[in-house]
A and B are shown apart, each in its own frame.
Chain A
Amino acid sequence: MRAIYTAATGMAAQELTVQVISNNIANQQTTGYKLQRAQFQDLLYQNLRRTGSSTSTQNTIVPAGIQIGSGVKLATTARNMSQGTISSSGKDYDLAIRGEGMFKIRMPDGSAAYTRDGSFELDSTGQIVTHDGYVLEPGVTVPTNATSVTISAAGVVQVGVTGQTALQTLGTVQLSRFINKAGLDSIGDNLFIETAASGQPIDGTPTGEGFGSLQQGFLEASNVNAVTEISSLIAAQRAYEMNSKVVTAADAMLSTTTQMFRS
């Protein structure tokens, strides 16, 4: 019975959906996390009687052929890159991006990674770094005698220094954009890297054409919506159950056939 294998592909697909959903729920409180959604495609069809073939000598055409599909497959776990909620954190080096763009991070091996997680800290040398100590590009070093820091919407970092009335400008935080940001590759630790699908990064300054603005003292929460996730989870569970019922039904049919044999 083909139905058993077809239903098995359905069960496998729903299992993958649950995996994707559980990862979304697990990262509900992860700063800058972007949710994923499993999308499916139907598998190949077997044509037992082709649509459009003729049925008589008078060239009568079969209106609808016999096409038997063989199930479902996972097409993509596309990321939804929509903006997450921005909430106040009150910390000086916490930055949220309102709109397009990602922070560029220099990895220990010198390569670039990108993130929407703007919870930065200072390291022992005064550089602005991520939680993992990776440097925010282009590097901004805050002097030890700085008393206050302001990061403007356009990314300009200014500090007040003891004994000086004027603020000292240290540099500008830059952002990077991608033509297909959904094509970025997640490498964990809230980081993404460029792929052939995402295209080359387009660097620019916040508030520039096509770039979002920065908000100091705020963080972007994940864009996971608990209600949507839970309802998708219920739908996936029901779909899984339905597929298992198909396996049971196909098995019952097979079993009646086998029971026809009498010793």
Chain B
Amino acid sequence: MENALLIGLSRQMALAREADVIANNVANVNTNGFKARSQRFEEYLMPVAKADSFPGAGQRLSYVLDGGVGLDVTQGAIERTGNPLDLAIQGDAFFTVQTPAGERYTRDGAFTLNSAGELVNASGFKVVGDGGVITFSPQDGDIEIGADGVINTKQGPRGQIKLVSFDNSRLLTSEGDNLFSSTAPSRPVGKDVKVSAGSVERSNVKPILAMSRLMEVTRAYQNITNMIQRTDELRGSAIQKLADMPS
């Protein structure tokens, strides 16, 4: 096969995958605490022949590869809900929840209580506080959570929500269910991080950007198709003309 075809193909495969990434962002446009992902491309240089004895130097061919899908950790919009157990984080930090597979991190702060009075997320995973799981008793009455994550009830303090951050939160792995996992260790958060009770953080997907990028991807894909077709036509006509021996 011709190189032009293969290079075009590598670009089309990368574009198709970017469309998948955009589709996932758009599907999660109303998901609490969702962080958009964006595709990054990298050049892949085809290795050339090692021997130098050719009369002309080997031509380097560059293909495209989808090098990585980075996490956009910018702040999403904060929406008031009025539910005292809904928490939104302002700043670079994550809530920690306890799952059967270990600690996971989330920005989705739509928490509730379970029947044992423990603070849990929508999947029922327990929210971790500075002293373990946060538990309320039926007598606690109104629950107030301060900007520093300290929980107070009529019956006294109930600990503090554990917030963590990472040296590079763009490296977090998405696990689904609004959870992230990290191979790097977490660290305590800085002073500029605030929790706001009675609100949730919405998705940080920017619809206009997503739609424009999708348009670009579609057009680029079509262009490559055109290019492949032209190359094919070129080859077709070359074969025809060259084979068209004057009799």
Contact = CB atoms under 8 A, between A and B. Distances in A.
Q: Do A and B bind each other?
A: yes
Interface of A: 1-4, 6-7, 9-10, 13-14, 17, 37, 39-45, 47-52, 62-72, 75-76, 78, 80, 82, 100, 177, 179-180, 182-183, 196-200, 202, 209-210, 235-236, 238-239, 242-243, 245-246, 249-250, 252-253, 256-257, 259-260
Contacts of A45: 173-176
Contact of A39 (B110, B139, B141, B170): B110
Interface of B: 12, 15-17, 19-24, 26-32, 34, 37, 40, 66-71, 81-83, 108, 110, 112-117, 122-123, 136, 138-141, 168, 170-178, 183, 207, 210-211, 214-215, 217-218, 221-222, 225, 228-229
Nearest to B66: A66
Contacts of B66: 48, 66
Chain B interface, >50% SS class: mixed
Contact of B30 (A1, A44, A235): A235
A155 B95 CA distance: 42
A253 B174 contact: no
Contacts of B67: 66
15 contacts: A2-B23, A37-B81, A39-B122, A42-B174, A42-B177, A52-B183, A80-B81, A199-B115, A199-B116, A199-B117, A209-B141, A235-B30, A243-B26, A249-B19, A260-B225
B218 A249 contact: yes
Contacts of B37: 67, 69
A9 B27 contact: yes
A13 B32 CA distance: 13
A48 B21 CA distance: 12
A243 B205 CA distance: 13
Contacts of B31: 40-42, 72
Contact of B214 (A50, A177, A209, A245): A245
B176 A250 contact: no
A17 B172 CA distance: 29
A70 B22 CA distance: 11
